[in-house]
Structure 1
Amino acid sequence: MSTTKINYIEMPASDIAATKQFFNDAFGWEYIDYGPDYAAIKNAGIDGGFYSAPLKAQTAQGSVLVVLYSPDLQKSLHAVEQAGGEIIKPIFSFPGGHRFHFTCPSGNEYAVWSE
């Protein structure tokens, strides 16, 4: 078994302040700021952060997809909409469950899934 594991994910954000506010409003995430161009994420299930960058992470452009888990998919979809996220793929079935895709204020694509 490998001892090397994924333990930190860094995501681009063209507007770090708006992206932080969105994820706080939608999911309750908190942050530690390291200057104006980086914010580490707290309480999100895996360590990571947002870094300042003009590009967007979109699967259509070959980007990695960050997938979040929720025990209540409908509640999470509503929270994303209420926080200002754009639903780009409504809830659909896939082997293992259901999920939806959305974009944050910086235009990055994410997904949320549930059984």
Structure 2
Amino acid sequence: MAEPNSQKLKHEQIQYIEFLSKDIVQAKAFYTKCFGWKFTDYGAAYTAFAGDYVDGGFTYGEPVNGTVLVILYTEDIEATKNKVISAGGTIVKDIFSFPGGKRFQFTDLDGYELAVWTE
């Protein structure tokens, strides 16, 4: 993930959005031109972006309507994971490390997939 702005880090708020893109270079050019987003590449298959009020990333894949991944920030990843489980959510990717922190992914009761991250 792009380096987060510490003023934006609020417990369990939506923090980051990931998109699938079949052409990351094209996506970067489009969003730079439209919104002035700044990009940081993490290999050929992932780029993170930072805008004035949104951070996110593009990962290589075939875009499908409904595949945007909403990512929430937490101060306590274990406690938030336990709350998701106790509310009936299903963990689909257990806690893992990545450059910048840790995260897990879950589906809600309607089957929507979201993620939670921490530094």
- TM-score under structure 2 normalisation? 0.46
